[in-house]
Structure 1
Amino acid sequence: MRTRRRVRTQPEAGGVPVNALEIKNLHVTYGSGPGAVPAVRGVGLTVEPGRKLGLAGESGCGKSTLALALLRLLPPTATLSGEILLAGEDVLTMKWGRLRAVRWAGASIVFQSAMHSLNPVHRIGDQIAEPVLLHRRTTPAAARARAGALLEQVGLPAARAGAYPHELSGGQRQRVMIAMALACDPRLIVADEPTTALDVMTQAQILRLIERLVADQDISLLMISHDLAVLADTCDRLAVMYAGRVVEEGPARAVYDTALHPYGHALSAAFPRVGDPASRRAPRGLPGDPPDPSALPGGCTFHPRCPVTLDRCATDDPELRDAAPGRRAACVRIAPAVPS
């Protein structure tokens, strides 16, 4: 008989549960001086305890930079400012010893390319056991047993711990990455394009696996993808990024079905709806490409591609603001929500 794991509670401040992740006015810039490239510009997001937030956008909009910034995994050429609060503690002000303790144990990342993330010359069981040995006072035998249990938890036989990465399929390697992310019982998992390059059936299996593990273990999830449909089916809330900024945020299904920002609407329209012959025969795309971060246009950065642009969009750069109950958007066409 399968037993449900005891639900963990987040630390509390003044009787109020602390959010698993809270990002405040985050800026990430590569380089310095006149050639500096702003990759993330003033992003603010919250992941509540036990909840799932999706982050969507085209390639180059800053999603992966944001994911790497959460645990300070960016190269030395990157400059960060703002706040990244994991369970109320600011990652950007942590000393290295504390940061090493938080990685894996407080938050972990499932990277998008398992083949590039796994070490090809080490067996997968040893790679899963490594963070357990580093973060827990345990024996190698206990760490290997933990690795086998984690493999079974993600749907692989414990005996596969002796395999090398090249001996596994793409979906199996992705399951190994998820097992590694769970190794030290983190409160938050960041999944950066976890189903990239997988076939449709394997993608569905991995997504259901992530959903089940998050629910069973009371883990918070930040899932990053270019696929709005996947995020709408998997997450509670959805944020849409464009040119380094969040341009829309709200309940996942509402953002997917009735996007308020023209960019969110264009992303949603690019995916054909099952049962809708018109969208299946003629899915709509969005002409052009995201702007070069080193040469952003004035005003709203989306206006050169926007199908409903106004003259003022070339000069006005709207902030993300309340647009409906539980929803925010950054567009001059959207009237601010009236406080109730």
Structure 2
Amino acid sequence: MNASTVIGPAAAGEPTGTDVLRLEDLHVSYRTAGGAVPAVRGVSLALPAGGRLGLAGESGCGKSTLASAVLRLLPRSAEVGGRILLEGEDVREMGWGRLRAVRWARASIVFQGAMHSLNPVRRVGDQIAEPILLHEKVGRAEADRRVARLLDQVGLVAARAGAYPHELSGGQRQRVVIAMALACSPRLIVADEPTTALDVMIQAQILRLIGELVAEHGISLLMISHDLAVLAENCDRLAVMYAGRIAEEGPADQVFAAARHPYGRALAGAFPRIGDPASRHGPRGLPGDPPDPAHLPAGCAFAPRCPIAADACREAEPPLIAAGEQRLAACIRMDAWQEAK
């Protein structure tokens, strides 16, 4: 078995025919003065129509690189291998005209920092209207009516269309970015840490809003976060990334409650749970830092931080293997958890 995995209904590696997004053996590395640095290493993933997939991991594990690769938003220093299929069409083979037509209309992305996504010298209504005018060839009056409806959908009054980004709060700006993502009724939304920069109360509102809009419009969602609890609450399935690879995947509630990979367990244990005194008084942390992508250790990349690593873990990189019904984990020691308790 190779190092890649397929996530969702195509977990056995067979296409379902209804996948909105499918990655096949995706590799991404960055050219540097010291040579190529791998960021994503052999990830395969399938997201069906209307599905909600969460992708978790620490900073530097390759989540945002993967998200940017979906719509070819990577810098020129990136080298990409494998296939990125959007409704069966390979994004890597699209010409620039075709790619421009696909962005916003078939797939859109919500980044974590709304101020980095919005033009500070243009009114937000004009920015929401731009993809509508570009892709749907409607008149300005119709575009303005669409903007008003979109603002209402995300909980803002139509008058806010005349505001500049700096005149809005952080939560309001993120709502504007979500309205932009919905403007052309895409089949897929990639939400890359959409609430990281917001306070807890506003974060909950934005997550609820995204969930409601995705369900209402039947949109597929790829949500990226370092917080397993957020993903478990808002996604059907969950994949955990470490050092550019998928370490574990399966039903979101199962991965969060009982991860089979030691890294997934460490991520879940880092967040205290309401009503659980043990986790509140003694949250489990994770010693050390993720490895430098330019100098990955031999064998399992997680072995230097793993509490149950054995000599065999340092000899070869473990493949993804069955870890329960519709579950996979890249760990040859997953059964040792019972012994370690």
> For structure 1, which segment, 209-218 or 27-36, has the greater mean C-alpha deviation from structure 2 after superposition?
27-36
Report matched runs for 1:52-91 at 5 Å: 52-91=52-91
Q: In the alignment, which residue of structure 2 is the partner of 1:293?
A: 293
What is the deviation of 1:334?
A: 3.9
Q: In the alignment, which residue of structure 2 is the partner of 1:206?
A: 206
The TM-score, its normalising length taken from structure 2, stands at 0.92
Gaps of 5+ in 2: 1-14, 336-341
Q: In the alignment, which residue of structure 1 is the partner of 2:9?
A: none
Measure the CA separation in 1 of the matches of 2:204 and 2:104: 25
Report matched runs for 1:28-67 at 5 Å: 28-31=28-31, 35-67=35-67
Measure the CA separation in 2 of the matches of 1:97 and 1:257: 45
Is it true that 1:146 corresponds to 2:146 in the alignment?
A: yes
1:320 corresponds to which letter in structure 2? Answer: L
Report matched runs for 1:61-140 at 5 Å: 61-140=61-140
What is the deviation of 1:257?
A: 0.2
- Give the secondary structure class of the aligned counterpart of 2:304: coil
User: Is the contact between residue 112 and residue 197 of structure 2 (CA under 8 Å) also seen in structure 1?
Assistant: no
What is the deviation of 1:16?
A: 6.0
User: Is the contact between residue 291 and residue 297 of structure 2 (CA under 8 Å) also seen in structure 1?
Assistant: yes
Measure the CA separation in 2 of the matches of 1:258 and 1:297: 27
Q: In the alignment, which residue of structure 2 is the partner of 1:7?
A: none
Report matched runs for 1:1-340 at 5 Å: 17-31=17-31, 35-334=35-334
Measure the CA separation in 2 of the matches of 1:319 and 1:16: 23
- Give the secondary structure class of the aligned counterpart of 1:104: coil
- Give the secondary structure class of the aligned counterpart of 2:303: coil
Measure the CA separation in 2 of the matches of 1:137 and 1:272: 50
User: Is the contact between residue 193 and residue 223 of structure 1 (CA under 8 Å) also seen in structure 2?
Assistant: yes
- Give the secondary structure class of the aligned counterpart of 2:201: helix
Measure the CA separation in 2 of the matches of 1:110 and 1:298: 36
Measure the CA separation in 2 of the matches of 1:32 and 1:86: 29
What is the deviation of 1:32?
A: 6.2
Report the RMSD for the aligned CA atoms in angstroms: 1.3
User: Is the contact between residue 109 and residue 192 of structure 1 (CA under 8 Å) also seen in structure 2?
Assistant: yes
Counting matched residue pairs gives 321
Gaps of 5+ in 1: 1-14, 336-340
What is the deviation of 1:21?
A: 0.6
Measure the CA separation in 2 of the matches of 1:23 and 1:286: 30
Q: In the alignment, which residue of structure 1 is the partner of 2:10?
A: none
User: Percent of aligned positions with the same letter in both sequences?
Assistant: 69
1:51 corresponds to which letter in structure 2? Answer: G
- Give the secondary structure class of the aligned counterpart of 1:272: coil
Taking structure 1 as reference, are residues 65 and 275 closer, same or farther at Cα in structure 2, changes over 3 Å only?
A: same
Measure the CA separation in 2 of the matches of 1:240 and 1:118: 30
> Residues 100-141 of structure 1: CA distance to partner in whole angstroms, max 9, x if unpaired?
111101100001100111111000000000011111111122
2:295 corresponds to which letter in structure 1? Answer: A
- Give the secondary structure class of the aligned counterpart of 2:120: coil
Which aligned runs of 4 or more in structure 1 are off by greater than 2 angstroms? 15-18
Measure the CA separation in 1 of the matches of 2:145 and 2:289: 48
User: Is the contact between residue 18 and residue 88 of structure 1 (CA under 8 Å) also seen in structure 2?
Assistant: no
The TM-score, its normalising length taken from structure 1, stands at 0.92
What is the deviation of 1:33?
A: 8.2
